[in-house]
Homo-oligomer: A and B are copies of this chain.
Amino acid sequence: MTHSETSDIDVKDLSFINNIKSMAVIGTSKKRNFFFFRNHAENFKGKLYAVNPNIKEIPGFDKNMIYPSLSAIPGEVDFVFISVPPSLILEVMDECVEKGVKLASVFTAEFSDSGTEEGRKLERELLRRAKNKVRLLGPNGLGLYYPKLGIAWRPKFSPKSGDIAFLAQSGGICNLVIYGGNQLGLHFSKVFSFGNGTDLDFVDLLYFLINDPETKVILCYIEGIKKERGVELKKILKQNKKPIAIVRGGQTETGSIAAKTHTATLSGENHIWNAIFTQYNIIELDSIEQLLSFAYLIELYGLFDLKNLAVISSSGGYGVILVDLIEKAGMKVPPFSPDIQKQITQLFHTLGTSSKNPLDVSAQVFNSETFYKIIDSALSDTNIDGMIVDLPSFYFNSDLSFRTRLDKTFEDEMIETLTLGHKHKKPLIPIIKRINCPEDWERLLKKLFEKNVPVFGDPHEFIPLLPKISKYIRNKKN
């Protein structure tokens, strides 16, 4: 079965991916210090082989992992990662078909991506030689990152699996998303870099992901799809029930020309894409950085509809700036309801602070019990959907604070308070500057992540995202 039989959608079946048990890195070379072989060896859970007729040993590895050819390997090989020169690619593909390989990542470049007729011809021939028996990722892509099975093309990709999938032509973009996501504590179900997409393309892989039980959220970077795949794309998006967030490259004229240069697909045509994104409730974002911030937020708080926010800052001025940014983005910072306002006012002991929304707590932030109660009250207000809390990072560095106030319980109590969003099932988003004490920031990032609380260093990183998430939820309900 090479095409899906369960629907009228013309896509290739990839369900075997979740059962890959063996793999070979073909063309691993000493020149690159066996880079791709070593990377997969970090965590691959099945049988791993290196294939290269010129290699007899790889320092640190058993000799019986090395074979001169695919056919020489005694057992089955489900998946191969190919990095041979273009001149050898057809021969290797014949071997893959012969061996019964199910999936091949072709890292080798200089096919249609070279922009030459020769390259395009070689790509067509590669596809023909795969005989619809071997499914191809690439050429000119990095293929598959699948942490559950330990498939990973780069060093130190996280071995933990999560439920976020990412899909892009470009391997470079995938590297940023994987390393960047891991840094935030995010883990992936699968990441696909499909390069020129000569066999498996955006549409096939998206179909796989919307049906993949290991994937809950789908992130994509795309520049365009082949025109003839538009019908399938719409059918798939119609079936889809998962949130999909997309960064689309090539929205401006120059961007669109650049996209054509390097991927040889049709892009541009903003009105078509905008119509698709609206009709199928796709979340469109501006940059890879926003995509990561989006994944980070919903990983920890799920999807949410934020109309009315409470703001708490330790500096009145910073609170005012936050209100301006929030209201310019289309959300509100409304007054608390009278009962809640009464409760909060009673908690404020310091003159010159403000017990109204935005709350300016000033040094009261150091009174952990009061600070907890203020946030607890504010979040219990039915007028309020969520909260932003501004805390300077130097509050968490004992060298930079009033020492007698900052005993060692301050940080842990503050972290406990910052989890109150979960009690009220409303997002509470702290902003802690990345300044002056980077090591404190890293520690807080980790501690808060363990409590399922995100943290940002700059309001521009997440405020523009909030209305997009809300819009998704509202459209989904309608």
Interface residue ranges, A against B (CB under 8 Å) = 31-33, 35, 109-110, 113-116, 119, 140, 154-156, 168-173, 175-176, 179-180, 182-183, 221, 223, 247, 249-255, 258-259, 261-263, 286-290, 313-321, 323-325, 327-328, 332-334, 351-354, 356, 358, 360, 362, 392, 394, 399-400, 402-405, 433-436, 438, 442, 458-461
**What are 27 inter-chain pairs, A to B, with CB distance below 8 A?**
A33-B402, A109-B351, A113-B352, A114-B352, A115-B352, A140-B352, A169-B317, A170-B316, A172-B318, A173-B315, A176-B315, A179-B433, A223-B320, A249-B320, A252-B324, A252-B327, A252-B328, A255-B320, A258-B319, A258-B333, A261-B316, A262-B316, A262-B319, A262-B360, A286-B321, A288-B318, A458-B461
Copies in the complex: 2
Q: How far is the CB of A359 from chain B (nearest CB, A)?
A: 10
Q: How far is the CB of A427 from chain B (nearest CB, A)?
A: 19
Which residue of chain B has its CB nearest to the CB of A360?
B262
Contacts of A316 in B (CB 8 A): 170, 172, 258, 261-263
Contacts of A247 in B (CB 8 A): 321
Q: How far is the CB of A159 from chain B (nearest CB, A)?
A: 15
Q: How far is the CB of A178 from chain B (nearest CB, A)?
A: 9
Interface centre among A109, A169, A323 (most CB of B within 10 A): A323
Which residue of chain B has its CB nearest to the CB of A249?
B320
Give CA–CA (A119, B351) in the complex, Å: 10
Known: A33-B403, A352-B114. Contact between A317 and B223, CB under 8 A?
yes
Q: How far is the CB of A445 from chain B (nearest CB, A)?
A: 10
Which residue of chain B has its CB nearest to the CB of A38?
B403
Would you call A318 and B459 a contact (CB within 8 A)? no
Q: How far is the CB of A363 from chain B (nearest CB, A)?
A: 10
Give CA–CA (A154, B437) in the complex, Å: 14
Contacts of A328 in B (CB 8 A): 251-252
Would you call A459 and B289 a contact (CB within 8 A)? yes
**Additional pairs, 4, CB under 8 Å, beyond known A179-B435, A221-B317:** A115-B351, A172-B317, A179-B392, A460-B460
Contacts of A436 in B (CB 8 A): 156, 179-180, 182-183
Known: A249-B321, A287-B321. Contact between A156 and B352, CB under 8 A?
no
Give CA–CA (A115, B400) in the complex, Å: 30
Contact of A262 among B354, B435, B460 (CB under 8 A): B354
Give CA–CA (A352, B392) in the complex, Å: 46
Contacts of A249 in B (CB 8 A): 317, 320-321, 324
Contact of A33 among B169, B334, B404 (CB under 8 A): B404
Contacts of A351 in B (CB 8 A): 109-110, 113-116, 119
Q: How far is the CB of A268 from chain B (nearest CB, A)?
A: 11
Contacts of A115 in B (CB 8 A): 351-352
Contacts of A287 in B (CB 8 A): 321, 325, 458-460
Would you call A327 and B116 a contact (CB within 8 A)? no
The 4 A-B residue pairs whose C-beta atoms are closest, nearest first, are A172-B315, A262-B316, A249-B320, A170-B317
